[in-house]
Amino acid sequence: MLPWVVRRTRLPLLVLRCVACPSDRATVGDGRFRVNANGKLLDVWLLVNCLSCDRTGKLTVHDRVPVRSLAPRLLAGYSANSPSLAAQVLLDPLTARRNRYALDWDGCWELRAPAVPDSPWPLRVMVTFDDPVPLRPDRLIGLGLGVSRDEIARRVKIDIPPNRRTKQDFSFLLISP
């Protein structure tokens, strides 16, 4: 079995309309949080910057939550602007849905694939995802093998739809040329 690994190289861009310019791309930059206390309630936002005009916007992480409902470790991470916590919040589907943004993964990932050996055939390849990068299996296989979609259709046997995005690990069988 030949292992392939998909890794995130940087955080994805946000597809999010800017209120000041016609741009629809934003970045979290260095992952800063803003924590605002109002009595016993907290608001937490992740700050994002427009790529065109550099205007700062806010993504709601927590809205009017009691201070005691947040774990001390989590609150300390927000206060210290933890980069790993910023990545976790950005990749959270609930945060994306609440703030109405999508993620643009173009150029944010890499494929680590060893060379295909000459034998034995057929060859089973296991693809694992270190991060939830949504990719089409046919594009990934084409990149890893350096072949066209037509050749993928002839030489690859796969149990999932090859033209639908997936974030889940999968395997495929490569048949000899």
pLDDT tens, position by position, 25-44: 999 888 899 999 988 999 99
Q: Where are the domains of the chain?
A: 2-8+107-174, 17-100
Q: What is the pLDDT of residue 144?
A: 93
Contacts of 3 (CB under 8 A, 6+ apart): 114, 125, 126, 128
Separation of alpha carbons 27 and 16, rounded Å: 9
Please give the pLDDT value at position 119.
76
pLDDT of residue 120: 80
Instruction: Please identify every stretch of the chain with a pLDDT value under 70, giving residue numbers as ranges.
Output: none
Model pTM score: 0.81
